[in-house]
Amino acid sequence: MDRLAPLQLFVAAADAGSFSAAARRLDVGAVQASATIARLERELGVRLFERSTRRLRLTDAGEQWLPHARQTLAAWDDGQAALRSAAGDAQPLQGRLRISLPSDLGRQHLWRWIEEFAAGEAGAGLQLELRISDRIADLVHDPVDFGVRYGEPPDSGLVALPLAPDNRRVLCASPAYVARHGQPQTPADLARHDCLRFVLGDSLHGRWRFTSAEGETVAIETAGHRIADDGGLVREWALAGLGLAYKSRLDVAGDLAAGRLVPLLPGWLGEPAPLHWMAVGRHRMTPALRRLAAELRRRCGQL
């Protein structure tokens, strides 16, 4: 393991272009990371990185060695996967589990479902680290191993297991808001309503799309007095009667069932918002983690 740690750090630094980012990814100190790479360079007798105040880049020797380092780590991961497979599907959830969760669904449901699953797996030694935020975590560079994400999986090396493939957004508001302002009858009517908008990353999700029963899709540019980068706050604003929200149905399922929010535009379908469990590489998807993903999918179906 001591021999693999410098390789892991080298590959992480090459991917991130930064010792500090690689250190965060592997949960080590930045000074320790730099010293480890320096020792590795002395051992190999070559310089692996060109360092400057602005950037970190591989030398020619580093470029040559990178695929061999990746191959060594991949072989180690494949060996671990083979051992886990030989141990059978009954191996419990264990070790450190670092997961990025969307804020609203994460706080309402996901953290509790994960805890209940871990308790049933007798995962007393499980180390659970949850990052609850609507900022999309970079599973390669950030210090997380898995992510639960809305939207279609990117075309990349990520492995995605569907948790709620048919989930969609739903336009909704509180009964108090509807009583004061009435219900929109068509998407075009949103221009006369206060819409609660959401920022994801650097982009404002203010263009809302709907599909009619005949298959016609329209996109409406919305406006309103409130914008948030947290889906949970948008839901709280809607519950307080401050405007219309365009939320994942999973996020507001309980509020709709209890009548705290009412669905609007019943003749129109909201945008697709599929939910996935994501990881970098199939070797991370142990039998226990596949069981966890299956349980989350079952819970989402119930919700």
Interval 81-138: pLDDT, tens: 566 555 555 577 777 888 999 999 999 999 999 999 888 876 667 788 999 988 877 7
For residue 86, what pLDDT is reported? 53
Please report, for the chain, the start and end positions of each structural domain, with discontinuous segments joined by +.
4-87, 96-162+275-302, 169-270
Contact status, residue 33 vs residue 13, Cβ threshold 8 Å:
yes
- Phi-psi category of residue 18: left, alpha or beta, with phi > 0 → left and psi -120 to 50 → alpha: beta
Strands 158-164 and 207-212: unpaired
* pLDDT recorded at residue 84: 55
CA 139 → CA 22, 93, 98, 236, 284, distances in Å? 12, 20, 10, 29, 12
**Which residue, among 207, 206, 210, has the nearest Cα to 186 in the 3D structure?**
210
10-residue block means of pLDDT along the chain (303 residues)? 79 82 80 86 89 80 87 74 56 80 95 90 77 82 85 74 95 97 95 93 89 92 95 97 97 97 95 92 78 94 93
- Fold classification of 4-87 is Arc Repressor Mutant, subunit A (1.10.10)
Tokens matching residue 144 = 């997380």
What values do phi and psi take at 277, rounded to 5? -95, 125
Quick one: tokens of 285?
């998807």
Q: Would you call 228 exposed, middle or buried from its count of C-beta atoms within 10 A (0-12, 13-18, 19+)?
A: middle
Triad 256, 258, 259: Cα angle to 5°: 65
Record the tokens describing residue 53, joined without a space: 């105040």
The number of residues in the chain equals 303
**Residues 21, 25, 28, 33, CA torsion sign:** negative
Q: How far apart are CA 215 and CA 233, in angstroms?
A: 32
The alpha carbon of residue 30 and the mean position of all alpha carbons in its chain are separated, in whole angstroms, by 25
pLDDT at 270: 96
pTM: 0.72
pLDDT in the model for residue 201 = 73
Residues 273 and 165: beta-carbon distance below 8 Å: no
Q: 169-270 has which CATH code?
A: 3.40.190.290
Report pLDDT for 13. Answer: 84
Tell me whether the CATH fold assigned to 4-87 matches the one assigned to 96-162+275-302: no
> Which CATH superfamily groups domain 96-162+275-302?
Periplasmic binding protein-like II (3.40.190.10)
